[in-house]
């Protein structure tokens, strides 16, 4: 057991065991792609509005490069008196219906990705997680005036709207999040990643509309009751302000109109709800993975 990378809170563990629930694990790590801060908004909203207890704490000293991400330190009149320790943790959280689930969040590890993924797998098997769901925002050429769609990495749609053949592969730089999903899938644990479309021109700012869609999609695929109401209020206020700002810039207004036309053409002017899209996405991913050749076939 690679327990040297983390420590468990035995009291919270006992509480989870007593619930006799196979929990869902939601996970998002800072440092990986998260356009519009979608995962960050979702995590922050859940922590602010749901009861959460610390189940596991990972050893940041083994996983984080402090020189690359120097932690803030406090210096008083008598010298250094403390610092903000990086927190890579798993919390036990309760949804609005009282159902417990797990949430892994914090900085993406700089070191020991495989050991980290195996540690997550150990915890997943220890508490018998029934589904693991990763999440983040993805920059896309879409307008902010249309619904933010949620899909999965199996959706390899190209910018022109054409779809590759079922055997197509997407080669991209890896991440600790991807390593976690890979490790879970290797032992036949159900895991997927949800991606929320974020207008590329808003990739660097919080985009609450996509976070609302993400919460709804997570609820659909996991069965958790996660209210998007608070983020929806933020999204509505942000949309009104954004419309005003876009109207002031002619070039941006033209770009948004072009993106609207492209979006409507691709989707025939009709877009299903994020819940329905997420549901179909899961089926698409399963079909896609089923058609992939085995490692031995590729050798």
pLDDT (tens digit per residue) in 24-64: 999 999 988 899 999 999 999 999 998 899 999 999 999 99
Answer yes or no: are the C-beta atoms of 179 and 193 closer than 8 Å: no
Answer yes or no: are the C-beta atoms of 113 and 179 closer than 8 Å: yes
Give Cα separations from 22 to 101, 129, 181 (angstroms): 8, 5, 18
Least trusted range by pLDDT, from 52-66, 177-191, 278-292: 278-292
* Token pair in block for residue 86: 């990086």
Q: Residues 239-250, buried b or exposed e (16+ Cβ, 10 A)?
A: eeebeeebeeee
Residue carrying the six token digits 């419309």: 243
Residue 266: pLDDT band with limits 50, 70, 90: confident
User: Sign of the CA dihedral 101, 229, 261, 259?
Assistant: negative
* Token pair in block for residue 3: 């327990």
CA atoms of 113 and 121, how far apart (whole Å): 12
Task: Please determine, for residue 251, whether its predicted confidence score (pLDDT) is greater than 50.
Answer: yes
For 39, half-sphere exposure in the C-beta direction (CA atoms, 13 angstrom radius) is 25
The CATH number that domain 3-71+81-298 falls under is: 3.40.50.10900
Least trusted range by pLDDT, from 129-138, 152-161, 266-275: 152-161
What is the phi/psi pair of residue 101, to 5°? -145, 170
- Residue 200 has a pLDDT of 92
* Token pair in block for residue 249: 């810039």
Answer yes or no: are the C-beta atoms of 232 and 51 closer than 8 Å: no
CA atoms of 132 and 124, how far apart (whole Å): 9
* Token pair in block for residue 37: 């801060």
- Residue 293 has a pLDDT of 54
Please tell me what DSSP assigns to residue 130. S
Record the pTM: 0.82
Residue 291: pLDDT band with limits 50, 70, 90: low
Query: Checking DSSP bridges between strand 52-58 and strand 24-30, what pairing results, if any?
Result: unpaired
CA atoms of 277 and 91, how far apart (whole Å): 28
Task: Please determine, for residue 272, whether its predicted confidence score (pLDDT) is greater than 80.
Answer: no
Q: What is the mean pLDDT of residues 75-103?
A: 92
Task: Please determine, for residue 109, whether its predicted confidence score (pLDDT) is greater than 90.
Answer: yes
């Amino acid at each position: 057991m690679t327990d040297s990378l983390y420590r468990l809170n035995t009291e919270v563990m006992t509480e989870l065991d007593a619930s006799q629930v196979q929990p869902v694990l939601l996970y998002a790590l800072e440092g990986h792609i998260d356009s519009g801060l979608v995962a960050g908004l979702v995590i922050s909203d859940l922590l602010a509005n749901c009861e959460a207890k610390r189940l596991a704490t990972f050893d940041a000293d083994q996983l984080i490069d402090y020189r690359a991400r120097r932690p803030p330190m406090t210096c008083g009149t008598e010298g250094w008196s403390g610092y903000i320790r990086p927190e890579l943790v798993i919390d036990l959280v309760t949804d609005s219906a009282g159902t417990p689930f797990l949430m892994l969040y914090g900085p993406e590890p700089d070191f020991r990705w495989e050991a980290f993924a195996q540690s997550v797998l150990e915890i997943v098997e220890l508490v018998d997680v029934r589904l693991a769901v990763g999440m983040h925002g993805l920059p896309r050429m879409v307008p902010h005036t249309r619904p933010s769609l949620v899909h999965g990495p199996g959706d390899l749609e190209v910018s022109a709207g054409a779809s590759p053949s079922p055997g197509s592969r997407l080669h991209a730089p890896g991440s600790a999040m991807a390593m976690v999903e890979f490790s879970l899938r290797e032992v036949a644990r159900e895991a997927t990643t949800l991606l929320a479309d974020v207008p590329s021109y808003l990739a660097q700012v919080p985009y609450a509309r996509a976070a609302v869609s993400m919460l709804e999609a997570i609820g659909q695929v996991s069965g958790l009751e996660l209210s998007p109401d608070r983020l929806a209020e933020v999204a509505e206020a942000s949309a009104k302000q954004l419309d005003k700002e876009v109207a002031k810039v002619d070039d941006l207004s033209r770009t948004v109109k072009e993106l609207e036309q492209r979006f409507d053409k691709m989707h025939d002017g009709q877009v299903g709800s994020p819940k329905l899209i997420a549901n179909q996405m899961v089926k698409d991913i399963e079909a896609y993975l089923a058609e992939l050749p085995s490692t031995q076939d590729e050798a």
